Structures are given as C-alpha cells and as structure tokens.
Amino acid sequence: MKQICFRRLFYFILVPVLLAGCATTTNYYDNLNKLLTQGKFSDAVALNEGSKDDIYGKKNALLYYLDRGMLLHYNGNYTESSLSFEKAKKYSEEYFTKSITTEASTLLISDNMRPYYGEDFEQALVRVFCAINYIFLNQEDDALVEARQVDQFLKTLKVNYGFKDVYTEDAFVRYLMGMLYENKGEINDAFISYRQALDAYKYYVKNYGVSTPKELVYDALKTAKKLGFSDEIREIEQEYQLKQKDTASAGGELVVIHYNGLCPVKIDHFFEISFGKGWVYVENMDVKGEEEQQVEQARAIVNSIASDEQIRLAFPKYVRENYAVQNLGVKVTALNGLSSTGVMAEDIGAIAIKGLEDRINRIRAKTIARGVIKFVLAQKVTSKVKESSGEVSAWFAKTLLKTVSAATEASDKRSWRSLPDKINLARISLPEGTHSVEVKFYDKSNNEVKNQVLNNIKIVKGKKTFVALRTAN
C-alpha cells in the first residue's frame, strides 16, 4: 500500500512538473526549426524574442543572444545581428572568467544549473558571423577587426590546448579571413591566412571529412605569386598537384555562402551501473586539475561505505538532424550558362560532435563522481531518518530521494541550436557589372530540391562580392 501511494504521488505530481520544462524547450526548438525550414526568418526572430525569459532565462543569456544574432543574420538585419553578437561575446568573456571558480562548486548539482559558457568553436564562429555582417553592411574595416579577433582567439586556444588533439584552428575561418584581407588589398595577410587554412584542412580531412577546396589552393598560389614567393609556389603546387590559374580578368568574383541544414542536437544517453563499479570507473579515470580535486572530494565519502545498489547517470550525446539539401550550384544564363558547383568548407556538426568526444571523459568523471556522492548522501539521510523516526519513514525518505535523484538526472544538452550543420561555398568569376544568378540546391543523389534567383548582383573589378543563403530542409 505504501509503495502504491508513493508511486501515485510521483506520477501525478512530480513527473508532470519535471516533464513540463523539457516539453516547453523541446516545443520551442521544434517550432524554431520548422520556421527555419520554411524560410520564415522574421517569424523565427519574433519567436526567439518572445521566448527570452521563459525558454532561456538568465543562465542561458549567452544562448539567447547567440540565437538572436544568428536569426537576425538569416533575416538580413545585419546591424541588429552584430549588436546581439556583441552582447554574446561579452557574456562569453565574463563567463569564461567566472567559470574557473564556478566549475569547482558544481560537483553536487547538474551542469544545467550553471550559466552556459559556450563551446570554443561557437566563440570563433560568432566573430565570423559578425565579420560577415560587416561585409554585407559594406564596412570592410570592421569586418577585418572581427577577423583579427578570430585570429587572437585561435592563438589563445593554441596556448591553452596546443598539446592536445582538439579544436584549436578553424579552416573555414582562415579561408574567409584570407578573402577579406585580399578584398582589402592586404595581400601578405591574405597569403598567411590562406596558408593557415591549407594547414587546417589537413586536420579537417582527417577528423571531420572535409577536403581542401581547390579554389583555396588557387588563392594561395595567386597571392604567393603577387608577393614573389617562388619557393612557396613550388611547395604548394607539388603538394596539391595543381598549377596556378590564369588570373588575368577584367571582372570580379561572386562568393555564395550557403548555410545548410540543422546543427546536431544533444540528447541524454542514460545508463545505470552499480555503485561499486561506478566508483571503480572513477578511480581509473585519468583526471587532472579541477576534476582531480572533485574526485578527491568523492573519495573521502566513498571510502566509508560499500554497496551494490544502482545509480543512474546521464551523459550528453549528439544526434544528427535529417535534411535533404546537400550542395548547391550557381549558374548565369546570360553568360552562356556559365556555372560553378559548391564545395563544403565547414562541417559545424562534425566539429561539435568531435569536441564533445574530446572532453567526454572529463564529463563522465564528473558525472559519476556526482552520482556516487548523491547516492552516499541519500544513504546517510535515510540512516538518520531511521534512527529518529523508524523504518517506515526511512523507507519513504529513501524512496523519495532515489526517485528524485533519478528523475532529475539529466546531462547538459545546451548548444547553439540555430547554427547551420554545414557551410558550403560556391565561387564564380563574373564580368564587372550587374548580373542575375540562379542558385540550385541538390540532394545527395544530385536531384534538384529547390532553386532561387538572385537579381542585381553587383560585381566590382578585382573584388569579391559575397551573398549568404540559408536552407534547412
């Protein structure tokens, strides 16, 4: 009878309360993705603005401004987008400083309770999207300021993690920076960025399956030639088996930036292990720094007990979203069907998944340590209740603590959800003047999924003209 009463209490009161928050957030992102898929970006902006307090709240302020900046960017509100991204950068810098002390105090509570700090690649990309905003606002100097901020940030990552095989460089960022420098006539900086991008794509092909774009190799060769770097030309030509292109042209170039798909989503990956096995797992972890201190905290308590009861744990895991469009093609009918095919330049989803894999051991160590400490505390509380109020009360206390612990066990599934999964680039040289360009989007079998005509594309001699398009279906 006692068990039946308690189960009823749990299912009718506790479960609905716990699931309400999850359902609200899930519904929000389902609706947001639906609007992105339909290309209703202004509606997505409105949905985001109306959800600032209910969905995001103070601890997710960084996520709010990241999403807001991204959605405004998709909608062509570039000034407002940059203002939002600037707020995101301030929160990110502030949280990075605070995280050093905050992390040490989160052992006993879920990571969801602390502010969202943002991933390293997210902090690099926010500066990239700021730079692209300034390109579309014809503020090239401000775009270069953002490019230099990216450079400084990536240098910081190298100092912090240079000894590890993790994200410390971004090939697409370097590639885009090179084009920005080249557009501004800063050829030496352009060559350096192109060279860094070539090196970064070697890591990309191995870890993310993204190959070096041929146009990048030609860019590196072209700028090296302008600088008279004959040794570098020979080295690049030999390594990539490509010769310099004839760059004599009276026109400029159109660069289509294609934001494609929906970024992977984190889900809970649950499993249960016995308390004893859980602690053995923690003891065998190779943890250092803060994690080592946290494990030491747990060890002091664990040494006093022994039990084979189960503990429930949740770790984050990424799952890919489905979408049809895989690539794009650009065609100019008025110029005898002059065309170009896009290539993948950045697999954001792959970077996110690899980044989580790189730090999953730290997450597991912390989660298991937290799980065993919660278990031990529940045992202690139950023992105290038994001493003071008897076995019946102790049974209720133990069952309640175990149930709440299991029901509230959830991994930190937060991420910048409005990001595209991939970024493709399509580049085509065009005569100086104004053009109409047809852009077609294809699925993995090269069937056309949709098309879009871009009118009044102005090409300036010796310059690159950028446009950005978003597909999520």
Query: In the structure, what pLDDT confidence band is assigned to residue 1 with cuts at 50, 70 and 90?
Result: very low
Above 70 in pLDDT, residue 345?
yes
Q: What is the mean pLDDT of residues 319-323?
A: 93
Instruction: Burial-class residue 181 by CB neighbours within 10 Å (0-12, 13-18, 19+).
Output: buried
What predicted TM-score, i.e. pTM, was given to this entire model?
A: 0.83
60-64, 81-85, 165-169, 418-422, range with the lowest pLDDT? 165-169
Query: In the structure, what pLDDT confidence band is assigned to residue 370 with cuts at 50, 70 and 90?
Result: confident
Above 70 in pLDDT, residue 380?
yes
Q: What is the mean pLDDT of residues 394-401?
A: 70
Residues whose CB falls within 8 Å of the CB of residue 59, separated by 6 or more in sequence, listed in order: 113, 114, 115, 116
In terms of pLDDT, which residue wins out, 168 or 112?
168
* Structure confidence at residue 377 (pLDDT): 74
* Structure confidence at residue 225 (pLDDT): 95
Rounded to whole angstroms, the Cα distance separating 470 from 38 reads: 10
97-101, 107-111, 149-153, 393-397, range with the lowest pLDDT? 97-101
* Structure confidence at residue 250 (pLDDT): 66
Q: What is the mean pLDDT of residues 87-113?
A: 69
* Structure confidence at residue 415 (pLDDT): 93
Question: What is the per-residue pLDDT across 145-194, written as a single tens digit (0 to 9) for each?
Answer: 998 898 898 888 888 776 566 788 999 999 999 999 999 999 999 999 99
Above 90 in pLDDT, residue 455?
yes
Question: What is the per-residue pLDDT across 193-227, written as a single tens digit (0 to 9) for each?
Answer: 999 999 999 999 999 999 999 999 999 999 999 99
* Structure confidence at residue 209 (pLDDT): 95
* Structure confidence at residue 77 (pLDDT): 98
In terms of pLDDT, which residue wins out, 15 or 432?
432
In the predicted model, what is the mean pLDDT of the chain? 84
Question: What is the per-residue pLDDT across 242-297, written as a single tens digit (0 to 9) for each?
Answer: 887 765 566 899 999 999 999 999 888 776 666 565 556 555 655 555 455 555 55
Residue-wise burial string across 228-240, b where 16 or more C-beta atoms lie within 10 A, e elsewhere: ebeebbeebbeeb
* Structure confidence at residue 6 (pLDDT): 45
In terms of pLDDT, which residue wins out, 79 or 251?
79
Q: What is the mean pLDDT of residues 388-402?
A: 73
Query: In the structure, what pLDDT confidence band is assigned to residue 365 with cuts at 50, 70 and 90?
Result: confident
Q: How far, CA to CA in Å, does 27 sit from each of 50, 165, 167, 412?
A: 14, 37, 32, 18
**Percent of the chain whose predicted confidence (pLDDT) is above 70:** 79
Which residues does residue 293 pair with via DSSP β-bridges, in sequence order?
Answer: none
